[in-house]
Structures are given as structure tokens and as C-alpha cells.
């Protein structure tokens, strides 16, 4: 094998289609674009959602719903999760920093503590919001629910 004898594998290369080079090429005249109309012209670009003049989908379907601009998005953490954290690490105070370190939330997210599960350890919990059942359960074991 020599450098001057190297060739690509058979059938792996194709010759370029030379459009608009006269009738002998078979691609002269209309240059493979068909006859007349917008698609034949230069600079043709179809608008997004255009369906050939038929009423487009986004106009056939009715509008519905809305986005509440005042919505506050909380990341929910249950009492069972806090109990597991206390058992694993021995925390006496659990807050935003501990949730971030454990990978439950990301920096800047708001946290709401929900009352799902049993809390047996006395622990102070810092969060942005608490459900009534979670607050009652934390207070029942002698802990504090601190709103940030």
C-alpha cells in the first residue's frame, strides 16, 4: 500500500449535483425547483406554522389558561427526610445550608417543610414556609420551626 494508491471505499463518495448548468446535465432550466410559485423563487422562506394557506394549528385551537406572575415556587421537603438527615449526620439544627449540602435543593430555591412522615428527634428547622401539620409535629417533639 502506498499513499498514491489510496482510494475511498467503493460507494462511499458521491459526485456533487451541478445544478443549472444547461440541458445536457438534466438539471438545467428550472434547476430542480419545479415550475413557478414561491418555492421556485430565490429568497423563499416559509413562515413557522405555515400550512399552505390552510388555517394553521395555532389558530384553529382555542386559547386557554394563564401563568400567575405572583406564583411562589417552593421545593417540598418532608419530615421523614429531616428525620433521616438527623439520624445520618446527627444534626440538632437543620436549615437551607444543610439541604443544599445534602443535594435536596439548589442555591436560591425556596423550601417548604411538609408533614409527611414521623419526626422523633428534637431538631430546630429553618425554612421559608411550613405546613400546619409539619409545624405542629416539630413543636410536639420540642423543636423550633423558624421561618426565614
Sorted by where each starts, the structural domains of the chain and their CATH numbers stand as: 74-147 (3.100.10.10)
pTM of the model: 0.60
List per-residue pLDDT tens for the chain, 148 residues long. Answer: 899 999 999 999 999 999 999 999 999 999 999 999 888 999 999 999 999 899 999 999 999 999 999 999 999 999 999 999 999 999 999 999 999 999 999 999 999 999 999 999 999 999 999 999 999 999 999 999 999 9
Torsion angle defined by CA atoms of residues 93, 96, 97 and 100, in that order, rounded to the nearest 10 degrees: 130
What are the grid coordinates assigned to 66, written together?
Answer: 394563564
φ, ψ for residue 133 (rounded to 5)? -65, -35
> Helices 132-140 & 79-89, crossing angle to 10 degrees?
40
CB 116 within 8 A of CB 80: yes
Phi, psi at 114, each rounded to 5°: -110, 155
At 1 the pLDDT is: 82
Q: Cα–Cα distance between 75 and 45 in angstroms, integer? A: 44
Amino acid at each position: 500500500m502506498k499513499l498514491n494508491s489510496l482510494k475511498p471505499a467503493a460507494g462511499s463518495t458521491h459526485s456533487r449535483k451541478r445544478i443549472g448548468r444547461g440541458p445536457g446535465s438534466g438539471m438545467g432550466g428550472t434547476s430542480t425547483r419545479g415550475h413557478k410559485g414561491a418555492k421556485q423563487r430565490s429568497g423563499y422562506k416559509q413562515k413557522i406554522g405555515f400550512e399552505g394557506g390552510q388555517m394553521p394549528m395555532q389558530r384553529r385551537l382555542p386559547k386557554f389558561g394563564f401563568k400567575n406572575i405572583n406564583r411562589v415556587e417552593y421545593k417540598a421537603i418532608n419530615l421523614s427526610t429531616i428525620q433521616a438527615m438527623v439520624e445520618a449526620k446527627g444534626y440538632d439544627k437543620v436549615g437551607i445550608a444543610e439541604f443544599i449540602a445534602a443535594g435536596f435543593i439548589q442555591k436560591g430555591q425556596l423550601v417548604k417543610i411538609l408533614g409527611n412522615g414521623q419526626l422523633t428527634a428534637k431538631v430546630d428547622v429553618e425554612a421559608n414556609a411550613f405546613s400546619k401539620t409539619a409545624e405542629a409535629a416539630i413543636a410536639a417533639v420540642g423543636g423550633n420551626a423558624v421561618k426565614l
